[in-house]
Amino acid sequence: MFKKINRIDKTRLMEPEELIQKYIQDSLNEAEKVQFETLLKSDAAFAQKVTEFENVHAAIKANEKAELKSHLQQLEANENMSNPTKKTVKKSIRLAIAVVILVVIGLIGNYFMQQANLNETLYATYFEPYPNALAPVTRGQETPAEALPKAMRLYEDGKYQEAFDMISEIIKSQENPETDVLFYQAMCLLNLQQETEALNILREIKHKETRFTPQIYWYGALIHIKFKENEKALKALQYMDEIQTTFKSKEREILKQKL
């Protein structure tokens, strides 16, 4: 029913190409900068790929400028043929238009880059593992029948992959999986940086009867923020207002203002 999730460290390491793209966009955070510098010094293939990306990026920029220059020159030539007496004035106008175009392009690019960085920052600021409110944890010996408390102990200890594996086995053994257990399966995935899989589960259970409804919409909103789906995030936060939950009420207001 559920696909196996590869084991990964709690600290997410980015894929090389994603890391290089963020470097090209000058949007690496501090942890990513450390990873980037380490790979650059220790991995020759990575360093070569960085050089290739830089060359491609430079070529694209040069090509864009060349095309713009060629287009403006063609316009100027056509204008000069039909109206040679207005050459100087038209040239100044064309140059002014070119400057405005470049400025606008730069501002638009900067806006989208800042927006992407804002979403990442908001997610990192407001995401935190949801505590165990499902099964009491005992630190003594467990019997085979106490699988759920054992899984939740692993969850509390930050062993999210092991907790996910055990919770998945519990779900497979249930004819009608409990919604609350499915919620914690999604929480394990979130802490493993498997946001898409977590969101799929949250969508599946959000209309089912559970005491974790506010939490389902809160974490769903955070995932949408990380995915830069601000309208979907706002709808989830607004639904939390509609059901009059006090869960994360202050944080909700801050997020709604920033999105």
Whether residue 160 sits in one domain with residue 62: no
How far apart, in whole angstroms, are the C-alpha atoms of residue 201 and residue 54? Answer: 39
Residue 94 lies in a domain: yes
Residue 132 lies in a domain: no
Domain boundary pick from 64, 93, 126? 126
Whether residue 114 sits in one domain with residue 154: no
Whether residue 179 sits in one domain with residue 114: no
What is the structure's pLDDT at 216? Answer: 97
3 state DSSP class of 50: helix
What total of structural domains would you count in the chain? Answer: 2
What is the structure's pLDDT at 87? Answer: 54
Whether residue 219 sits in one domain with residue 153: yes
Residue 253 lies in a domain: yes
What is the structure's pLDDT at 80? Answer: 60
Whether residue 153 sits in one domain with residue 105: no
Residue 153 lies in a domain: yes
Whether residue 24 sits in one domain with residue 75: yes
How far apart, in whole angstroms, are the C-alpha atoms of residue 70 and residue 127? Answer: 49
Residue 32 lies in a domain: yes
8 A C-beta contact, residue 161 and residue 5:
yes
Whether residue 160 sits in one domain with residue 249: yes
Whether residue 120 sits in one domain with residue 85: yes
Kindly give the confidence (pLDDT) of every residue in the chain, 259 residues in length, as a single tens digit, with 9 standing for 90 and above. Answer: 444 444 434 445 677 878 887 887 777 888 888 888 888 888 888 888 888 777 766 766 665 566 666 666 676 666 666 555 555 555 666 666 766 676 666 555 544 445 457 888 889 889 999 999 987 765 554 444 589 999 999 999 999 999 999 999 999 998 999 999 999 999 999 999 999 999 999 999 999 999 999 999 999 999 999 999 999 999 999 999 999 999 999 999 999 998 8
How far apart, in whole angstroms, are the C-alpha atoms of residue 141 and residue 144? Answer: 10
Whether residue 120 sits in one domain with residue 151: no
Whether residue 121 sits in one domain with residue 25: yes
User: What's the pTM value of the predicted model, to 2 decimals?
Assistant: 0.57
Nearest to 243, CA basis, from 220, 219, 226, 218: 218
Q: What is the DSSP letter of 244?
A: T
What is the structure's pLDDT at 258? Answer: 86
Residue 216 lies in a domain: yes
User: Dihedral of CA 163/221/125/112: which sign?
Assistant: positive
What is the structure's pLDDT at 230? Answer: 94
Full 3-state SS string of 146-210: CHHHHHHHHHHCCCHHHHHHHHHHHHHHCCCCCHHHHHHHHHHHHHCCCHHHHHHHHHHHCCCCC
Domain boundary pick from 62, 97, 126? 126
Whether residue 151 sits in one domain with residue 116: no
Domain boundary pick from 93, 126, 159? 126
For residue 160, the domain's CATH number is: 1.25.40.10
Whether residue 158 sits in one domain with residue 232: yes
What is the structure's pLDDT at 15? Answer: 77
Q: Domain of 122? A: 16-126
Residue 71 lies in a domain: yes
Residue 185 lies in a domain: yes
